[in-house]
Amino acid sequence: MNKVVVGLSGGVDSSVAAATLYHKGYEVVGLTLWLMKGKGQCCSEGMVDAAFICEQLGIPHHIVDSRDVFQENIVDYLVSGYQSGITPLPCSQCNKAVKFGPMLSYAHQTLGIDKIATGHYARITYDAECDRYQLRRAIDLTKDQSYFLYDLTQDLLAASLFPLGELKKTETRRLAAEYNLKTADKPESQDLCLIESHGSMQKFLDKYISQTTGDIVDLDGNVVGQHQGIHHYTIGQRKGLGIAAPNPLYVIALDAVRNRVIVGERHQATQAECTVHRVNWVSIQEPNVPIRASVQVRYRSPAVPVNVIPLEGNRIRLVFDEPQFSITPGQAAVLYDGELVLGGGIIEQLPEKIANGKLLEG
């Protein structure tokens, strides 16, 4: 009998993933990672619901205390990023460093099981010609989570199952009801676990970063307002600036060294290109010549055409066919060829034309 360890957060998706594999004849073991204290699907109430699902299915349930790993890889990572003027993306970091890697290690070393599964909406295929596992978008594009999984390695993809990748969300709910799962009608998590736990990202950050008043300036260096900490702002932000101006103003840069928020009109918040570091090539070998692809620079943004130019040091340069609004350092840029995830990485700080401009020099 096939054995698999299923990551259970206590939500409907992971519950259906476990139940689906169980009803397909797998020997399923539930595993919940204790990431932090407080409410949220992967925390206190999530562990209770996950335990109940395991009881319903008659399968073992293991809980692993991963709070130190989460603190180091997510909390400290976020705090450091926001302090330096970037907007980090915690989910992709969490998937590789906190969830998939530790889950597979626990499954293999403690339970002697070589397969793990999650409730992510994505698909994994294998290309025999290039001997490579490939990551693809989910069938349900409205729920597709491949954007957050670009950093998974070949070893992790080879060991992973995504039972929901071929399902629509409506089918997931139908199966939850059919299996009579406790979580069948559980509302979806709408925010990051940290936001659910603390109430808002601002409250979370204020717990770790002291509020330091500073200037909001335009591109000529004119002071147009005051801020209560650059960690409260992100590139492209329009609301909440507290500035009266004849035209709408947007955040176009965060100057951590001088503790300034830089604003401008919408066209000044667009970029024709950006650089990306910490690149992981998922479904293809690293190219040594420029390639064409589509790139998604935020989870909810559409994929747009781009020229991808390899650079040294595990970096690439992206040249967009059309300038893009709100390219945000710290967020992921994920490359696609249709439904196939080619790879991805983290958007670096703003281009030299802004970083070395008159406003930031000296």
Catalytic positions, written as ranges: 94, 193
Paired with 182 in beta bridges are: none
Strand, coil or helix: 220: coil
Q: What is the bridge-based pairing of β-strands 340-347 and 132-137?
A: antiparallel
Strand, coil or helix: 72: helix
Closest to 105 measured CA to CA, from 27, 9, 7: 7
- CB of 277 within 8 A of CB of 317? no
- CB of 340 within 8 A of CB of 323? no
Measuring CA to CA, how many Å separate 280 from each of 88, 229, 256, 292?
Answer: 17, 32, 28, 17
Integer Cα distance of 95 and 14 in angstroms: 14
CA atoms within 13 A on the CB side of 173: 7
Single-letter residue type at 91: C
